[in-house]
Chains A and B, each alone.
Chain A
């Protein structure tokens, strides 16, 4: 039998059972027929069965629908009344209890249909255990009615005491359910609360009413007269549960307008990176993230092009792959409670598909840009450390070695005695070596200013100014910054001053270093002839590369006849 046929059979069976119930109710001669109550209670059963069947069809994998149908079916039995047959009576009694256990089960597992924790498993298990034991155990001692197939030993005290204990346990479970639902609501995320809304609106009230009815009917607790009277109709609150849950499970149709709004919004939006925000709002999940698999397949990036890790399965996040011709366009990462609304997620995602494809392309571009920038920064850093290494090698190698030779020559000369010619040659060799040493020193300093590494930007700039050809005012705060920033700032000043010396015909220059808003600003100004062009000269282009590799910017203002101002802004927060 297919699921559809099974559901049809169950629907027909439900209707038939309703009719049978009415007939059987009339067949009990001792009691007057209370049609109002019969209609209400049959209505309760039917509401469970019909809501369950619709939910079952809409969410075949979710057991909530089946549980609702089962509850509705067993609910009939509690209305059947006295049959006079021992086994039928057993079915009726157990059915009455099982209805309550099934409702408890539904309340606990809604909306996902799964038991999530040990506590939830315990509550559901206790509800079913109570359904069986609460009927079987007291009746084992009850000889007050026949034919009681469960009867073992007559003890009116045991019947009363055990019956009361089981009723109290049932009340405790009802109140636990209230606490559970309220706690889940209070701790829930926004999508979770939306999914739980049907439950929080109906279940706590129904549980409280059921607990009060138990206390009143079985334990003899009396409330005020109107409350006692109302409890007689308290089952209506239970009937509201399946209807509310059905609305909750099949809310998709209500979302159509939301998805339409999303479409309009995406169409108007110029920036595809808005798509995350739009989807998050449409799905009511601010935590929603997007991941775009790169064409290289190596990694995923977010809408800004930054690398993101996809959460591991079962890690508290839900994933939906959006594919186009078998290729994943985007991955939606969201609150697992949205899994209860797959139609909404699917509709929103498909509405956003085109924009997402755009966003993916842009994200891929951005990712490439991020990588290019990072590689440029790496190149600059590698170049700097290579220069530092060269300078160190010159210092420790060639310079020391040459000096060693000079010392040896010096020693040889002091031992050369009177041989004037030898002494002359040695003196000449020493002079050659001395010149070589001085050239090497200047070279080492040009390759990498050891002073910058050792003493910082201020000292290095002061030294630069002392060696300049024209007066240079330096204003720089003391203190140290990251090496890359210091290097870039130093080379900006050094290159600018070199240009001033070569081209500007200036009489004064000034280097100003300031720090504000997380950026270091280096400004080199001269009063020369101006007319410098950033496009000319490898020096300035190299500087721009260096500055931009640090996400900074370099500006050149050099009107003809109006001096030159080179300004570099280097982020260093």
Chain B
């Protein structure tokens, strides 16, 4: 037990994600046997990472929500809402405004957190079921952005906004950097701060937390605000990548975000989870989808495979916990 945990070692997730690591090995072997020369090419791999980063970033926040014992179904609509409103905000600054971009980044993050705050306050303060609350706000966000956009595309007029989402930095696309950055940040928050500890305690048994002088309401509120923040990041990445937002964008992001968390070993019943696991889970979904494409399997079947992977992941959780 002398293993000190000074610094932010990644030791914790090793054992738990053993099965996930094995799954990756299996996938690589399949790719080799099938003889897909393109699979291991850097370009393909960066592409996979880019594809999964949008929902992956949200999955990181979602992990905390699930650990708290909740769920957030509104993230997809919220992304479209925050992205759309942020472009309206950006367009106030004219065509060549670097200041506009900086302020828009802040605006999107704050707006995302505000949206998350609404979810969180209803769950934590008014003690409503998270499923119901976020089912409601899911419709509300979607409806609002459709109203504000008149159901049409919201275009950015800024010339350089697009560089944010399509830019590449040290060989990796910026959204991937965001995915890694937010991931490491939340990993540390979850494992090395008192908030992370209280979060697990509250998710595992709210009464114990209350009887241990923990302010349960705040602990239950914060994960939604953090998820709102991750939604803000994704909204920026997605809207700047296309330089526009369609009010029907980002539909069913919540499914991918939840799937990443669950495949990564986060318990749906709360109390336990891993950010690194969620990152691996998100990458796993991307890799499988990519291989299905390479294998020439119908795109319509991709969702079925994803569904299968989720079920198998939960089944393994169940057996481990028996």
Q: Do A and B bind each other?
A: no
